[in-house]
Amino acid sequence: MRFGVVIFPGSNCEQDVVHAVQHLGFEAGYIWHGDTDLSGYDAIVLPGGFSYGDYIRCGAVARFSPVMAEVIRFAEAGGPVIGICNGFQILAEAHLLPGALLRNVGLKFICKTVNLRAEESTCQWLDLPAGTVVRIPINHNEGNFICDDETLARLQGSGQIVLRYCEADGSRAEGGSAPNGALDDIAGICNERGNVFGLMPHPERVVDPLSGGTDGQHFFTAIARQLAEVG
Amino acid sequence: MATPETLDPKLAPQLAVELGLKLDEYEKVVGILGRTPSVTELYMYSLMWSEHCSYKHSRKALKMFPTTGEHVLQGPGENAGVISVGDGWAVAFKMESHNHPSAIEPYQGAATGIGGIIRDIFTMGARPIASLDSLRFGTLEKPRQRYLFEGSVAGIGGYGNCLGVPTVGGEVYFEEAYEGNCLINAMAVGLMREENLTRAVAAGPGNLVLLIGSTTGRDGIGGASTLASQEFDEKAEDKRPSVQVGDPFEEKLLIEACLELLDAKLLVGLGDLGAAGLTSSASEMASRGGVGLDIDVTKIPAREEAMKPFEYMVSESQERMLAIVTPADLEAAQAVCTKWGLRSTVIGTVTDTGRFVVREGEAVVADMPAATLAHDAPIYDPAKERPAYLDEVQAFDPMKQLEHPEGVEALSATLLKVLASPNICSRRWIWEQYDHQVMVNTAVLPGSDAAVLRIGDTGRGEVSGRGIAVSTDCNGRYCYLDPYTGSQIAFVEAARNVACSGGRAAAITDCLNFGNPEKPEVFWTFYESIRGLADACTAFGVPVISGNVSFYNESFGQPIYPTPTVGLVGLLDHVTDHCTMDFKDDGDVVVLLGKTKAELGGSEYLNLAHNKVAGRPPKVDLPGEKLLAELVVTAIRTGIVRSAHDCSEGGLGVALAECCIAGGVGARVDPDSTLPGVAALFSESQGRVVLTVSPDHYDALKQLAAAHGTACEKIGSVGGDRLVIGGLVDLPVEQLREAYEPTLERLVHGGASS
């Protein structure tokens, strides 16, 4: 199992992802944003950071990187792709996932560990039973997910909502549990096929127990199991 | 040799004074040159001989600091100091002020402060792995102070988060003394392999001078002289054009490109362009290497039209680096820059003349001995005089001269008030705006005593088991009441914070913030602070490896509190042997190491309950502090310590409350009953730590403490959901939390202080 981690200028979580998957015993390699060869990788990770400085809409420049045309091809062929934080923003800008990520409601950057509830979904990157609560840090200024009503109904109806912000007991607070104001408390969504997954929280930060937990391991082990079954 | 067009000898002295030089300093420049300077030369000397760049008032006093020791690889004098941390790893660190820019434009001032200190770190060949920020503002009742506080925090986050360097710690105080002159002290830490230590030296005549990064504009012109080296008055707003604007994305690319260039051994030397821009970095690199430089300003990529040569030379445009490369490596070096999307331009050559020559095309516009810029600034021995206010404030006896609350009800209410104080309360509102986890090496997150980081380059799969603990500390109030003792308290508190996290103190950096050194009373406080800090360092065997002096922190003639901020780095042989402050399990024994004395001078209680900043600060016992730190680290390493927390501002009452809030659990304790209630709870006696151990391990701790000659008293046990301090306090932990957590957010939004 070999993860390919894309580096855009301004990415800053690529080394964390590589450390996380290596900690779990998988292989990893870096893919420069100017490269267009994804051969040799079983799954692609778009890591967090500030691609191209994110001085205009987050991810709006990165989607035009040479590597993204290949990532889109890889995803359309069913290859597993995960976008974490800035990676999620890039997937949304590239239309591999619906919706958009607006500025947090409080207009402040938020770095803290939050409770997340696994939902019943088609996502290949998570195989936890629905309702399981995991604790994973978020770290963003633009994580306020939004989409139109029709898209929301489709996400809800076809099992594309993968993770929701929630309270410690898994319930959702009246008025929302999302610290960033995200619609329907959405923290992570996948495409219909379930191979492309975008989430604002940083699972790679809670893989090695030294940095505060192990709840992030599920995502990387789930996709590895999924690929092993298919392969 | 062509002589530059010189100024009119009659007008030159006047311009010199306008640029911040004194007349005798101007005469010295004329003496060095043997003629009237050109306008470019005058600008260059005025900046390099400014207080900010030359340390002309502080240099002699700073000689009191010990600067060598077993871990030191690089002491003061470079962009940052470096210590060895074992297994071939080394860390570089330094703290620097960005006070005046932030007082005018908080977001950009604070942001570019981070940018500058981070560049100092990777210039040494180290990857920046952490930053900490020590902040001081006026009280938050004033809208302007809220703007400065909120803007500075946003600027630190906006810049640091983008870089992918975790902001892991720091401190903040709100005092009227900082109202007209806030303090933004930024510390950065970097990691490298020992063999990659790089110095900012120009060498090899014939080698090329390569400018990497941003274009050069008129921003920040005169930042070091007109902004950093003068007091504020009603014209402060006019100085806004001297504040630079940061581009963290460009800096992130610079970090990656420069580390790649150093890794590939493509550079002879590397320096960053900070205060005084190209003039400073080029002249310092040349003088360290004993060489000359020949630079043509028309080669420098400009962001504005019709810039004058002096403007190129003194611009403080951010995110620029100066590299020395051999002609043979130029192509490869430029290819690395291009890969990272960075400009790189050859702007000159290294010469063997020892002279710094600046050209505009063919015309020479400046020509001077390079070393005179960096080294020949006059060194002053300023007059010092003990300030008159000291007798009055020190004569005040808080125990005798005031009425104090008594009984559980009044003391509980007072504890809640102290917990909610802006100077004590939770800093969560701040650090949740900072990415404190990126690089996945942060083992102890903000909110405990010190940050603990694993040593390792996770991206390359090189993870070691070692760690460092880092803390910044300084209570300016103590320094105001007694600068000698106050600066020692800054040191011992940092040492206790690091010890409580499991680290053994290895070295410090400092950021010395004071008023106008030309005033004898101000200089006395500076001198005494340095003496105190130097004595503390010597007693601990801990050297000063880098630092920064920031003078002229005054507004309308009033100096700030003397604020010698200490940034202390400690070492952990095993990063997993760290400790946090939160109480853990029911039944754990609560232990107080050290003794509480009736010391309310300068305390937060005195300030809050009586609106007084007076008295003598708590006494410091340096040998006792050193033994205490060794005891705590040893106990943590043996694995018996469940929690450890420094007992300092707010006293034992606050320390116990913080342990309860962090752990979400209560405690019942009965401390020394011979002291009056306020002293037992709020005395800020030094040399104290609150530890918990399981009951089975208490005897072992007691023996260890005896071996270290440290008082060790079992004062209670963890459990329940209330904090009960016998006869003094009885409060639910939830109520403590409600007092402690929301203060900053409420005040920022204009709410009243409780």
What per-residue confidence (pLDDT) applies to B754? 56
Which residue reads 């559980």 in tokens?
B408
Whole-number Å distance between alpha carbons of A24 and A217? 8
pLDDT at residue B633 greater than cutoff 60: yes
Choose, out of B435, B453, B577, B580, the residue to mutate when testing the contact with A (most A CBs < 10 Å).
Answer: B435
Output the DSSP codes for B143-155. Answer: HHHHHHHHHHHHH
Q: Please judge whether A16 and B463 are an interchain contact, meaning their C-beta atoms are less than 8 angstroms apart.
A: no
For residue B753, the model assigns a pLDDT of: 64
CB contact under 8 A, B459 and A15: yes
pLDDT digits (tens, 9 = 90+) for A96-121: 999 999 999 999 999 999 999 999 99
How far does B462 lie from chain A, in Å, by closest CA?
9
> Taking a C-beta distance cutoff of 8 angstroms, is the pair A14, A29 a contact?
no
Instruction: State how far residue B689 is from chain A, nearest Cα, in angstroms.
Output: 25
Pair of tokens at residue B183: 């303090």
Q: What is the dihedral of CA B555, B557, B561, B565, to 10 degrees?
A: 60
What pLDDT score was predicted for residue B221?
Answer: 74
Spell out which residues of chain B touch residue A202, defining contact as CB-CB under 8 Å.
437
A101: CB partners within 8 A, 6+ apart: A58, A88, A89, A92, A140, A142, A143, A144, A145, A146, A200
Residue B462's pLDDT band (boundaries 50, 70, 90)?
confident
Q: Chain B residue closest to A16 (CA)?
A: B439
Q: What is the mean pLDDT of residues B145-170?
A: 97
B441 to chain A: which residues are within 8 Å by CB? 210-211
Please report which helix (H) or strand (E) contains residue B15, including its range.
Answer: helix B12-18
* Catalytic positions of B: 52, 98
Give bridge partners of residue B72 from the DSSP assignment: B83
Instruction: Give contacts of B431 with chain A, Cβ < 8 Å.
Output: 111
| pLDDT per residue of chain A (231 residues) written in tens, 0 to 9 | 999 999 999 999 999 999 999 999 999 999 999 999 999 999 999 999 999 999 999 999 999 999 999 999 999 999 999 999 999 999 999 999 999 999 999 999 999 999 999 999 999 999 999 999 999 999 999 999 999 999 999 999 999 999 999 999 999 999 999 999 999 999 999 999 999 999 999 999 999 999 889 999 999 999 999 999 876
B248-269: average pLDDT:
96
CA B533 to CA B513: how far, in whole Å?
14
Please give the Cα distance from B553 to B517 (Å, whole number): 10
With CA atoms as reference, the chain B residue closest to A114 would be B432
Find chain B residues with C-beta within 8 A of A49's C-beta: 164
Contact in structure between B255 and B159 (CB atoms under 8 Å): no
Nearest-Cα distance to chain A for B397, in Å, is: 44
DSSP one-letter code for B196? G
pLDDT for residue B226 is more than 80: no
From CA B475, how far away is CA B600, in angstroms rounded?
A: 14
**A5-29: b or e for each residue (b if 16 or more CB lie within 10 Å)?**
bbbbbbbbbbbbbbbbbbbbebebe
Burial of B267-298, coded b for 16+ CB within 10 Å and e otherwise, reads bbbbbbbbbbbbbbbbbbbbbbbebbbbbbbe
Dist CA B76 CA A28 (whole Å)? 40
Residue A20 in contact with partner chain B when CB distance is under 8 A = yes
Instruction: Report chain B residues whose CB lies below 8 A from the CB of A141.
Output: 161
Where residue B1 falls among pLDDT bands split at 50, 70, 90? Answer: low
Which residue from B250, B435, B460 is facing A111, i.e. has the nearest CB?
A: B435
**Stretch B646-653: mean pLDDT, rounded?**
97
The per-residue pLDDT for B558 is 92
What ipTM was assigned to the predicted interfaces of this complex? 0.96
Domain borders along chain A are 2-230
A110 with B433: Cβ contact below 8 A: yes
Check whether B189 has a pLDDT greater than 90: yes
Query: Is A16 within 8 Å of chain B by CB?
Result: yes
Contact across the interface for A9 and B247, Cβ inside 8 Å: no
Do the chains contact at B249 and A9, CB–CB below 8 Å?
A: yes
Structure tokens at B194: 């020992």
Q: Give the sign of the dihedral formed by CA B198, CA B201, CA B202, CA B204.
A: negative
Which residues of chain A have a CB within 8 Å of the CB of B433?
Answer: 108-111
Per-residue pLDDT at B230: 67
pLDDT in tens, B554-600: 988 899 999 999 999 999 999 999 999 999 999 999 999 999 999 99
Per-residue pLDDT tens digits for B335-363: 999 999 999 999 999 999 999 999 999 99
The chain A residue lying nearest B129, using CA atoms, is A12
pLDDT for the residue numbered B750: 85
**Close Cβ partners of B354 (under 8 Å, ≥ 6 residues apart):** B286, B290, B291, B292, B369, B370, B371
The reply to whether A12 touches chain B by the CB within 8 Å rule is yes
pLDDT score for A171: 98
Q: What are the pLDDT digits (tens) for B309-344?
A: 999 999 989 999 999 999 999 999 999 999 999 999
pLDDT at B242 over 70: no
Please say if the pLDDT value at position B227 is more than 80.
no
Contact residues, chain B to chain A, C-beta under 8 Å: 154, 157-158, 161-164, 247-250, 252-253, 340-341, 431-443, 445, 454, 457-461, 463, 575-576
**pLDDT value, residue B234:** 60
Look at residue B408 in the predicted model and tell me its pLDDT: 97
pLDDT of B752: 74
Question: What one-character DSSP code corresponds to residue A62?
Answer: G
Sheet holding B208-213, edge to edge: B269-272, B320-325, B208-213, B344-351, B292-296, B355-360, B363-369
A residues 62-101 closer than 8 Å to B (CB): none
Question: Over pLDDT 90: what percentage of chain B?
Answer: 90
User: Rounded distance, CA B717 to CA B667, Å?
Assistant: 6
Which residues in chain A are closer than 8 Å to B442, comparing Cβ atoms?
211-212
Cα B664 to chain centroid distance, Å, stands at 32
Size of interface A-B (CB pairs under 8 A): 101
Backbone φ, ψ for residue B639 (5° rounding): 90, 5
What CATH number should be reported for the domain whose range is A2-230? Answer: 3.40.50.880
Residue with tokens 């100092």: B120
